[in-house]
Amino acid sequence: MRIAVWQAQGPDAGAVRLADAAARAAAAGADVVVTPELFATGYGRPFGPPDPGLVARWQEIAAACRIAVVASEPHEGHITAVVVRDDGTVAGRYRKTHLWAEDERAAFSPGDGTPLIVELAGLRCGVVVCYDVEFPEVVRGLALAGAQVLLVPTALDDEAVARILVPARAMENRVAVAYANHVGPGFCGASVIAGPDGRELARAGTATEELLVADVTAEDLARARGLGDYLADRRPETYRP
């Protein structure tokens, strides 16, 4: 699987700029492009209103470019992430479970934790949004459910999360993590694609828009497990509250 992460400054009404980014990602051979949290409508209070035409537009872009798209929007009172396959069909929608700070909690309701795992380019991909990835239980649960890659739209201002915690989540679960952040005032950039051994496959800077591209294969996943299979070696019967 070739993954593209688009670090960009929003909003992007009508997904005009996403169409260009998706075309560039497809030209680079990517199977999927991951975009930042609430990128099209705008992240930050006051949050942009829902756009009932967004998903249809994402479907058009995915089908035209023959690339899967992971994009985030407000939907029915939740922050969500939608996966659109490269034929334009919707594979699923995830509702953000852990809301960040009072701005989000005042504007949205949390999801119930129902996971989303879809197969893209032969690998099983789990989807979460931003703050969710900072909870070990969330990523571990997806890994135990068979996810091999995590696709994460985010809106982040703490570079330590992107540089320390995200690679750690990848390593401790032997999954690849594609983490797409905003750039610009209030955001730290530093988007990353981390391999299942925790090493950075691609990393964006903190001040500019960038399109990251990196490959993750089944062989990479197996090789990482060979370095130490944390999932297989767990002893849950010994973990007490």
37 noted as active-site residue:
yes
* pLDDT digits 0-9 by tens, 7-25: 999 999 999 999 999 999 9
pLDDT above 70 covers a percentage of the chain that reads: 100
**Above 90 in pLDDT, residue 123?**
yes
Structure token digits, residue 102: 């009072």
The yes-or-no verdict on residue 158 having pLDDT over 90 is yes
The Cα–Cα gap between 231 and 210 comes to 33
Whether residue 5 has pLDDT greater than 90: yes
Helices first, then strands: H and E counts in the chain: 8, 12
In the three-class reduction of DSSP (H, G, I as helix; E, B as strand; rest coil), residue 82 is classed as strand
What pLDDT is stored for residue 8 in this prediction?
A: 97
What is the pLDDT at residue 240?
85
Q: Please determine, for residue 104, whether its predicted confidence score (pLDDT) is greater than 90.
A: yes
67 within 8 A of 26, measured Cβ to Cβ: yes
Is the confidence at residue 136, as pLDDT, over 90? yes
Residue 143 has pLDDT above 90, yes or no: yes
User: How much is the pLDDT for 241?
Assistant: 81
CB atoms within 10 A of CB 46: 8
Task: Say which DSSP state 182 is in.
Answer: B
Sorting pLDDT into bands at 50, 70 and 90, what band is 232?
very high
The question of whether 96 is a catalytic residue gets the answer yes
pLDDT of res. 223: 98
Q: What is the mean pLDDT of residues 228-233?
A: 97
DSSP 196: T
Q: Are 4 and 151 in contact (CB under 8 A)?
A: no
Which of 65, 73, 125, 130 is catalytic? The answer is 130
What's the chain's average pLDDT? 97
Task: Name the catalytic one among 65, 73, 96, 188.
Answer: 96
- Write down the pTM of the prediction: 0.98
Report pLDDT digits (tens) over 109-118.
999 999 999 9
* 130 is an active site residue: yes
Which domains does the chain carry? 2-228 (3.60.110.10)
Question: Residue range 78-98: average pLDDT?
Answer: 98
